[in-house]
Structure 1
Amino acid sequence: MPRPKEFDQELALDKAMELFWQQGYERTSIQDLVEQTGVHRGSLYDTFGDKNQFFLTCLDRFRQVPKYRLFSILEEEGSPKEVLSRFFEKVIDSALGNGTQRRGCFIANTAMELAAIDPGIASRVEAFNLDMESRFYQFLLKAQKDGKMKFHHTLRELSRFLVNTRNGLYVLGKTASDRQSLEDVVKVALSIL
């Protein structure tokens, strides 16, 4: 009879996700994961599979953990532009982090590092982006139905543009020398709405 798992799988996933997020997939070894999670190598393999499968599980976990999502801001009161401005201010805060460790977005980092070479990872990145697109679409649709905004582009086009703006802020935040660079991107993005 197999022994029951003697560790908290969600906690191990969260710790592994943080390590992958900080170091990237390629720079993270199985030994790094053992040390980060405190779980023996054999137990990690038995529970999560190889490093690639473990990483895919971490990507799935990221999509499910609400603390990594800022989209609840889109449900707040205010004009659509005010709400989007607050949303993107939080994205900028997150992108810039504490100024010394700008880790970016786990999904955006993964897209740049691995999506072009791993179909399993690419499908998860696409699913995350489609989820974001859907949230922006619903937000814009409500603004349109409430008569608060008229658009010169389709809602789908604008939703995709907002996804790209959000992802771009995280990428730019990894190297930008000042906050103003990111705020300028948001200013232009909001001007087309």
Structure 2
Amino acid sequence: MARTKEFDPDAALQSALELFWRRGYEATSMADLVAHLGIGRASIYATFGNKHELYLKALDRYAETRDPTLVEELSGSGSALAGVRSVVRRFAAEAASEPHRASGCFVTNTASELGPHDPAAARRVERSWEQIETLLHSALVRARNAGELPADRDPRALARLLLVLLQGFRVVGKVPAGPERIRDAAEEALKLLD
């Protein structure tokens, strides 16, 4: 007869996500995970696999649950260009705010820490960025078709520029001296949409 788990795997995964997000992959040991999750090492391995597998599952969870308003902002029935502007300004405001400074974005943090040498993590980062780029591209195509964006603007190139800008906000926002830099960059980038 199989034993029932004495912990909630979903809650444990969320707790691991929060710890990895706050500390990073390398700075989080299995002992840290055992202490933070309040479950034994054997239970972690049996449920999630090794530390790397748990990290990837936490990253997948983050990607599934993060920023539900992004789709609404970029796919809504109103002005597509207004939606793009709203997203850029929201990302800038979030990156410049105190609560976001310490943790940043889990995907961006993963890109910096693991992306150069961990293909599985890099694939997840790329998948996340592709989703954002696709949403931006679709909104910019709609904006151009509606006459909100000049006809000579390339929606794909603009979507890529905005993706890089949004990720840059998240990196620069981790330093206390960044808020003015972020706000200025956001407003200058938005002029490209005029």
Q: 1:73 to 1:133 in 2, by over 3 A?
A: same
**Residue identity opposite 1:181 in structure 2:** R
Instruction: Show the counterpart of 1:107.
Output: 107
After TM superposition, the structure 1 = structure 2 runs for residues 35-114 of structure 1, keeping only pairs within 5 Å, are 35-67=35-67, 70-76=70-76, 79-98=79-98, 101-114=101-114
* In 2: Cα distance, 1:2 partner to 1:97 partner: 48
**Residue identity opposite 1:108 in structure 2:** T
Cα shift readout 1:59-112 (whole Å, capped 9, x = no counterpart): 111111044664432245764454333222321232234269522111111101
TM-score, length-normalised on structure 2? Answer: 0.89
Give unpaired runs (5+ residues) of structure 2.
none
TM-score, length-normalised on structure 1? Answer: 0.89
Give, in angstroms, the shift of residue 147 of structure 1.
2.2
After TM superposition, the structure 1 = structure 2 runs for residues 14-53 of structure 1, keeping only pairs within 5 Å, are 14-53=14-53
Task: Report if aligned partners of 1:95, 1:173 keep a CA contact under 8 Å in 2.
Answer: yes
What SS does the corresponding residue of 1:7 show, helix, strand or coil? coil
Task: Report if aligned partners of 2:84, 2:136 keep a CA contact under 8 Å in 1.
Answer: no
Instruction: Show the counterpart of 2:123.
Output: 123
Cα shift readout 1:12-48 (whole Å, capped 9, x = no counterpart): 1111111111111000111211222222211111011
* In 2: Cα distance, 1:94 partner to 1:156 partner: 25
- RMSD value, Cα: 2.1
Cα shift readout 1:125-173 (whole Å, capped 9, x = no counterpart): 1111111111111111221222221254422211111110110000010
Give unpaired runs (5+ residues) of structure 1.
none
* In 1: Cα distance, 2:70 partner to 2:76 partner: 11
Instruction: Show the counterpart of 1:13.
Output: 13
Instruction: Name whichever of 64-73 and 183-192 sits farther off.
Output: 64-73
Instruction: Name whichever of 173-182 and 23-32 sits farther off.
Output: 173-182
What SS does the corresponding residue of 1:192 show, helix, strand or coil? helix
